[in-house]
Amino acid sequence: MAGGHYVVLGETLDGQEQTYGLGWGVTKCAMCHGTMRKQETKCFLCGAELPPDPNKKTLQERFATVVKGAMIFSAVLTVASLFTSFTPSFVKCSIITVVLGLVMKSAEQMKANQ
Ligand SMILES: [Zn+2]
């Protein structure tokens, strides 16, 4: 299995990014099916531009997801604060929920404006 050894060597030389899982760090060119490195946005064989990765989330999308999670969490806390004293006060929780809701709205607007 000389080929196998070559692949392992190639991955080691390519750096740490490709050490986790086979196929994760490699992208195929849509035009010539040449193998591209993850960092490359242009195929070096045919010069075709790589279309943006639909699985790759932008920073804003990630931010919106985090804010949404935090808002749901604080909404749950708000409800819980009515019944238990283990949470911050109801007023505090509801203010946080409203603020997070506003942040989420503006984050979604930023996304829509793109
Ligand atoms: Zn190509």
**pLDDT, tens digit, 9 for 90 and up, residues 67-80:** 999 999 999 999 99
CB of 109 closer than 8 Å to CB of 101 = no
- The 8-class DSSP code of residue 43 comes to -
CB of 25 closer than 8 Å to CB of 38 = yes
CB of 47 closer than 8 Å to CB of 29 = no
Q: What is the CA(60)–ligand 1 centre distance, in A?
A: 30
**pLDDT, tens digit, 9 for 90 and up, residues 80-110:** 999 998 889 999 999 999 999 999 888 888 7
Task: List, as ranges, residues with CB under 5 A of the ion ligand 1.
Answer: 29, 31-32, 34, 43, 45-46, 48
Average pLDDT over residues 2-29: 50
Q: How far apart are CA 44 and CA 56, in angstroms?
A: 22
Q: What is the CA(19)–ligand 1 centre distance, in A?
A: 24
Residues 6 or more apart whose Cβ sits within 8 Å of residue 88: 77, 81
The pTM score is 0.49
